[in-house]
Amino acid sequence: MNTVLADTSQAANCDHIPVIDLSHIDSPYFEQRQELSRTVYDAYTQVCFFHIRNHGIPESMITRIHDVAAKFFSVADEQKMKFYVGNSKKFHGYSPIGAEQATGTDDHPISEEEAMGVLSENFVIDYGTQMDSQRSEGDPLPPDTYGLYGDNQ
């Protein structure tokens, strides 16, 4: 799969990683926000991930996050396993290589015998919407349907 950079948002397909421009996320025009939502939905449902541009996150913060992530993933597995996602009631934490299974899709399921461990490790954290400095008093959070809001490990 190739990364294709573009000046505008792109339709999602599995030939490339979509690039989505978030500049209309706060648009006063409902149609622009609706089109952005449709673009994000298409990327998630057709490709499962995408690159974003015009997100407003300073490059210095992105660099710092990459540095912290590189430091975490460079420590010994025993240290990382102290934060194992399986110990979290909120599904936050570290998942080692092979711990997650590729199960296919609804249209093309994979049997348990065919499933293989995903060849990547990851760390899942909660955004912390309750602590968002831009959230105003009385601003409702989206419903926590699955009980996933909460502390990180």
Establish how many alpha carbons lie within 13 A of residue 68's alpha carbon, considering only the half-sphere containing its beta carbon: 7
Co-location of 30 and 96 in the same domain = no
Task: Determine the structural domain holding residue 80 and report its residue range.
Answer: 76-153
Tell whether the model's pLDDT for residue 1 goes beyond 50: no
Q: Is the pLDDT of residue 10 over 60?
A: no
Whether this prediction's pTM lies above 0.75 is answered by no
* Residues 42 and 111 grouped into a single domain: no
Do 49 and 101 have their domain in common?
Answer: no
* Local confidence band at 40 (pLDDT 50, 70, 90 cut-offs): very high
Distances (CA, A) of 55 to 20, 23, 51, 72, 81: 10, 7, 10, 25, 32
Q: What is the mean pLDDT of residues 109-125?
A: 81
89 shares a domain with 38: no
pLDDT of residue 98: 83
Q: Are residues 98 and 152 in the same domain?
A: yes
pLDDT for 108: 78
- Strands 93-95, 122-124: pairing is antiparallel
At 58-106, the pLDDT tens digits run 999 999 999 999 999 999 999 999 999 999 888 889 999 888 877 777 7
* Segment 140-144 mean pLDDT: 77
CA–CA distances in Å: residue 48 to residues 16, 26, 43, 63: 11, 24, 6, 24
* 136-150 average pLDDT score: 78
User: Beta partners for 123?
Assistant: 94
Domain count of the fold of the chain: 2
Question: Based on the domain organization, do 51 and 91 belong to the same domain?
Answer: no
Indicate whether 9 and 46 sit together in one domain: yes
Same domain, 82 and 148: yes
